Structure 1
Amino acid sequence: MRLSMLPAFEDNYIWVLRDSRRALLVDPGDAAPVLAAAREGLEPAAILLTHHHPDHCGGVPALLERWPGLQVFAPDDERIAVECERVGEGSRLRILDSDVQVMAVPGHTRSHVAYVTDGHLFCGDTLFSLGCGRMFEGTPTQMHDSLQRLASLPGDLQVCCGHEYTQANAAFACEVEPGNPDLATRRAQVLRHRAAGLATLPTTLESERACNPFLRCNVPAVRETVARRLGHAPATPVETFAALRSWKDGFRA
């Protein structure tokens, strides 16, 4: 299976996982890039949706018009108003001769899901490289638990996030944990890629565990930074996470 991405809007990625002929699409918020790729030979076989936000699912009606009967898999959320098969925690799919595992990862939205298949983690807006999504509908406990579940997956998984946010996330991560050598190396790589007009994704889950402060709420250096901001030591990893997410919400690089 070969992975590629189609840029959409300002910073979205539509992920494409294809065999020799057909393709699995993840979060086609805009139909136009997919239709353009189809003119070059792309043949969609199925669509996976991670959550209901329009920049992740808004292109589906036009794609179903172009390819009637195209399989669509989506979380059980009435706000995704397209014909689809509803999936949730523990659902297992078979697409393009590959198994697809579905995980419920609430926090960014209440019904957000992630998909694991063929060595790839399609995590939508739950986990970003060096960051995580805002909590529009969930609680810190939900989001922290979702991130910890993702972090427990095999380290060689390719992390395929919904947005190109890595450069800004790197600036924040370095404020949180300035003495992390793995983070310094990752940030330098990110800056080189962006200067060359290249994507910073996918990355690996192993790299995220080493560098992403939102996956490192038990690390002493992260806790110490948060304690200085709070004026007291955080009592739990969830309190550490909540303080980091609140700080990031107002952070400007």
Structure 2
Amino acid sequence: MGAIEIRQFMCRSDNFGVLVHDAAGGQTIAIDAPEEGPIVAALEKEGWTLTHILTTHHHGDHVEANTALKQRFGVEIIGPKGEADRIPGIDRTVSGGDGFAIGAIDIEVIDTPGHTLGSVSYYMPQAEAVFAGDALFSMGCGRLLEGDAAMLWESLQKLRALPEETMLYCGHEYTAKNAAFAVEVDPANTRLRERVRQVEEERVAHKPTLPVSLKKEKRTNPFLRVDDEDLAAELGMDVSDPVAIFTELRKRRDVF
């Protein structure tokens, strides 16, 4: 198998665009389509031709460029079955547990509802990468716009269970604010403080804070640690009720 190459770049004000390229077969996948211009520029820089779009969820800032890119490249658009009626240009639907390949790239679909009801994430084991859209952010998670806390907590446990070396790609550059919130609710976490220092250095240098390994996230993201005794103690809550802790954290983050 040839190499799998991944390129990440900024779109809109704070969206990440991501391209995944199979060097052997020549296929190139966009993870979501937040903005046509930056995606086309990234393709031209690499000399790649877009062949597919994998949609994580229906929100406009993730599907805005679907139609334009389909007209330009004739791409196949793949997205969650539960949101097919709200995804422009969709050709094929997928659900959690589905597996398929694009060229030599194996892709596993994980249902990750909560931010939206039909949201999915795409895990590519050969690339050691997961593309979580707005379900999971570095040191944060998506707002509960359609689902509830129990639903999103279940989704995040699926992502947390992936191999620790897996690199997490998210839909937005929210890490700095998430980090500030994480320190407020988990002040005794020394690994978190080290991660915050790294994020501050990255932002000063105008570098992206993503991707990040799930190993780091499992140790520093409070939304992945709601069943951790130390975090529960910081909040004065019962660790036996992680959904209640998740609910409390999300409420606090919403007004942070």
Q: TM-score, normalised by structure 2?
A: 0.93
Q: 2:160 aligns with which of 151, 161, 184?
A: 151
1:9-48 alignment runs, 5 A limit: 9-20=12-23, 21-40=26-45, 41-48=47-54
> 1:133 is aligned with what amino acid?
G
How far residue 31 of structure 1 moved from its aligned partner, in angstroms, is 0.9
Which AA in structure 2 matches 1:116? Y
Q: 1:83, 1:218 → 2: CA distance?
A: 38
| Match of residue 56 from structure 1 | 62
Contact 2:181 2:253 in 1 (8 A): yes
Q: Secondary structure at the match of 1:6?
A: strand
Partner secondary structure for residue 43 of structure 1: coil
User: Is 2:122 the partner of 1:115?
Assistant: yes
Structure 2, unaligned runs of 5 or more: none
For residue 7 of structure 1, what is the aligned residue in structure 2? 10
Which residue of the other structure, out of 70, 80, 86, is the alignment partner of 1:79? 86
User: d(CA) in 2 for partners of 1:103 and 1:115?
Assistant: 6
Per-residue deviation at 1:36?
1.9
Q: How does 1:47-196 map to 2 (within 5 A)?
A: 47-68=53-74, 70-76=75-81, 77=83, 78-117=85-124, 118-196=127-205
Contact 2:70 2:89 in 1 (8 A): no
Residue 15 (structure 1) shift: 1.0
Q: Write the distance in 2 (CA, Å) between the matches of 1:155 and 1:30.
A: 31
Q: Deviations over 1:151-198 (max 9, x none)?
A: 011101010011011110000110111111111111000000000000
Q: How many residues in Structure 1 have an aligned counterpart in Structure 2?
A: 246
Is this contact kept in 2: 1:45–1:96, CA < 8 A?
A: no
Q: Which runs of 5+ in 1 are unaligned?
A: none
- Deviation at residue 234 of structure 1 after TM alignment: 6.4
Q: 1:91 to 1:135 in 2, by over 3 A?
A: same
Instruction: Find the aligned partners of 1:135 and 1:34 in 2 and give their Cα distance.
Output: 28
Give the partner amino acid of 1:120: A
Identity %: 36
Q: Which moved more, 1:54-63 or 1:232-241?
A: 232-241
Amino acid at match of 2:181: F
Residue 15 of structure 2 aligns with an amino acid whose one-letter code is N
Q: Deviations over 1:49-84 (max 9, x none)?
A: 00000111111100001012x111101211113132
Distance 2:149 2:208 in 1: 29
One of 215, 218, 231 as aligned partner of 1:222: 231
Structure 1 residue 121 displacement after superposition:
0.4
Of 214, 229, 232, which aligns to 1:205? 214
Q: Give the stretch that moved more between structures: 143-152 or 12-21.
A: 12-21
The alignment's TM-score, normalised by the length of structure 1, stands at: 0.94
1:241 aligns with 2:246: yes
* Structure 1 residue identity aligned to 2:72: R
